[in-house]
Amino acid sequence: MIKNITFICFLLMNLLFTSESVALVMKKKGDVKYKPFSSKNSTSELEMSKSLFNQDQIQTGENGFTKVVYLDDGSTIKVHRDSEVYIQGSIKNRRITKQINIAYGKMKFDINPQKTTDFIVVTPTSVATIKGTRFWIDCKGDDGDIFFGLTGLVEITNTESGQSVKLKPNTTVNSQPDGTLTILPTKPLNLQVLELMEAEFGEATEDELNNLASPSTQSQPSATPSGSGQNTPVEHELKIKLINALGDEKELIIKYTE
CA-only gyration radius of the chain, Å: 21
Same domain, 168 and 192: no
Find, among 58, 104, 106, the residue nearest to 81 by Cα: 106
Same domain, 29 and 107: yes
2 within some domain: no
Residue 257 has a pLDDT of: 55
Residue 79 has a pLDDT of: 97
Q: What percent of the chain has pLDDT over 70?
A: 71
C-alpha to C-alpha distance for 191 and 63, rounded to whole angstroms: 20
Q: With 80 as the cut, is the pLDDT of residue 237 above it?
A: no
C-alpha to C-alpha distance for 78 and 136, rounded to whole angstroms: 9
Q: With 60 as the cut, is the pLDDT of residue 171 above it?
A: yes
72 within some domain: yes
Same domain, 33 and 138: yes
End position of a domain, from candidates 170, 185, 200: 185
Using 50, 70 and 90 to split pLDDT, how confident is the model at 252?
low
Same domain, 181 and 192: no
Find, among 104, 64, 68, 99, the residue nearest to 84 by Cα: 104
Q: Which of 113-117, 168-172, 180-184, 250-254 has the lowest mean pLDDT?
A: 250-254
17 within some domain: yes
Query: Which tens digits make up the pLDDT trace of 201-233?
Result: 888 766 666 665 554 444 444 434 444 445 556
End position of a domain, from candidates 156, 185, 214: 185
Same domain, 127 and 237: no
Into how many domains does the chain fold?
2
Q: What percent of the chain has pLDDT over 90?
A: 54
Q: With 90 as the cut, is the pLDDT of residue 34 above it?
A: yes
Same domain, 175 and 123: yes
Ranked by mean pLDDT, which of 43-47, 179-183, 253-257 comes out on top?
179-183
End position of a domain, from candidates 157, 185, 213: 185
Average pLDDT, the chain: 81
24 within some domain: yes
Ranked by mean pLDDT, which of 1-10, 24-33, 87-96 comes out on top?
24-33
Same domain, 119 and 229: no
Same domain, 132 and 28: yes
Using 50, 70 and 90 to split pLDDT, how confident is the model at 126?
very high
Name the residue range of residue 225's domain: 188-257
**Contact (CB, 8 A) for 174 and 162:** no
Taking the complete model, does pTM exceed 0.85, yes or no?
A: no
3 within some domain: no
Residue 95 has a pLDDT of: 84
Same domain, 130 and 235: no
4 within some domain: no
Residue 59 has a pLDDT of: 95
Find, among 139, 140, 138, 171, the residue nearest to 154 by Cα: 171
**Contact (CB, 8 A) for 22 and 71:** yes
Same domain, 135 and 32: yes
Same domain, 90 and 106: yes
1 within some domain: no
Q: With 80 as the cut, is the pLDDT of residue 256 above it?
A: no
**Contact (CB, 8 A) for 106 and 86:** no
Same domain, 200 and 154: no
Query: Which tens digits make up the pLDDT trace of 48-103?
Result: 889 999 999 999 999 999 999 999 889 999 999 999 999 998 888 778 999 999 99
Contacts of 48 (CB under 8 A, 6+ apart): 25, 26, 27, 28
CATH at 14: 2.60.120.1440
Q: With 50 as the cut, is the pLDDT of residue 109 above it?
A: yes
